[in-house]
Amino acid sequence: MMWSIYIIGCCFLFGLVIGSFLNVVIYRIPRDLSIIRPPSSCPTCHRLIKPWENIPILSYVFILRGHCAGCGSPISLQYPVVEAFTGILFALVGWRFGGSFQTLVFIAFTAILIVLSVIDLQTRLLPDVIVLPGLLTACLLAVMTLHPKGAACWSTTVSKAFFGMAAGGLPLLLLAWGYLKLTGREGMGGGDIKLMFFIGALLGPGKVLLTLFIGSLVGAVAGSIALKLAHGDRHTQIPFGPFLSGAAWISMMWGDGIIRSYLMFSDLAG
């Protein structure tokens, strides 16, 4: 009990710090800037951020009060929100998977999903420099299970990763191809398709199908509400990445239980 509280607390604090870094990544990747250098500065007056102004959440609330200490221009609420959100999600992963190898991988996966969601919301892009290394890492983890020691700490085997990629990527690939043939326009972004290959390689076929199901369902409902509110037409672009990412995170956390209860209920119904 004490041990698990300790893990959850560490994951939360680690998440706050990583969240602060994710804000840097979210700002710099779409602008093709290095994520390591130079140190962070105010986008308006270019004043360097002092270390005590860089403490997750606390600096924003107590020291800066939402404004740059140099020029006073407002700092986006995105910064503390991403920090807090990352802390909470990391803590939940620590609570769910404890002190295990899975926790490490899923924390990294959570960070990637957060970055992709915010970048997609802001730019309608899912950058290859984030998705493709993720896909490669997922494939390497699957290869690792060929060794008994690897199989002991990671459950998505090579065949599961392969069928996961097929189940996650191919439906969207077909859909995009069909849409292009019918309308001559690109409907689905290539980024969404690559993201689904990545999720499939990491989580396997069952959870990637669950991701597709939850993501499309919530995305369709939320998308039509957003279109109504924004008075958009069918050419308005709705980012699909945040829905797929959220659905992938839920599948990662509780997919086994959801799939098991679905099978149980369909057994009862049949």
- Sites for Zn ion among residues 206-225 (CB under 5 A): none
Nearer to Zn ion, 70 or 99 (CB): 70
Site size with Zn ion, rule: CB under 5 A:
6
Site string for Zn ion, 70-109 (x = CB under 5 A): xx--------------------------------------
Nearer to Zn ion, 70 or 187 (CB): 70
- Sites for Zn ion among residues 54-73 (CB under 5 A): 68, 70-71
Nearer to Zn ion, 48 or 174 (CB): 48
Segment interacting with Zn ion (CB under 5 A) among 40-48, 102-110, 127-135, 211-219:
40-48
Nearer to Zn ion, 42 or 208 (CB): 42
- Give yes or no for residue 263 binding Zn ion (CB under 5 A): no
DSSP string across the chain: -HHHHHHHHHHHHHHHHHHHHHHHHHHHGGGT--SSSS--B-TTT-PBPPGGG-STTHIIIIIITTB-TTT-PBPPTHHHHHHHHHHHHHHHHHHHH-SSHHHHHHHHHHHHHHHHHHHHHHHS---HHHHHHHHHHHHHHHHHTTSHHHHHH----HHHHHHHHHHHHHHHHHHHHHHHHHHSS--S-HHHHHHHHHHHHHH-HHHHHHHHHHHHHHHHHHHHHHHHHHT--TTS----HHHHHHHHHHHHHHHHHHHHHHHHHHHHH-
Nearer to Zn ion, 71 or 230 (CB): 71
Q: Which of 45, 140, 225, 264 binds Zn ion (CB under 5 A)?
A: 45
Q: Which of 44, 224, 236, 237 binds Zn ion (CB under 5 A)?
A: 44
Segment interacting with Zn ion (CB under 5 A) among 34-42, 80-88, 98-106, 237-245:
34-42
Contact residues for Zn ion, defined by CB under 5 A: 42, 44-45, 68, 70-71
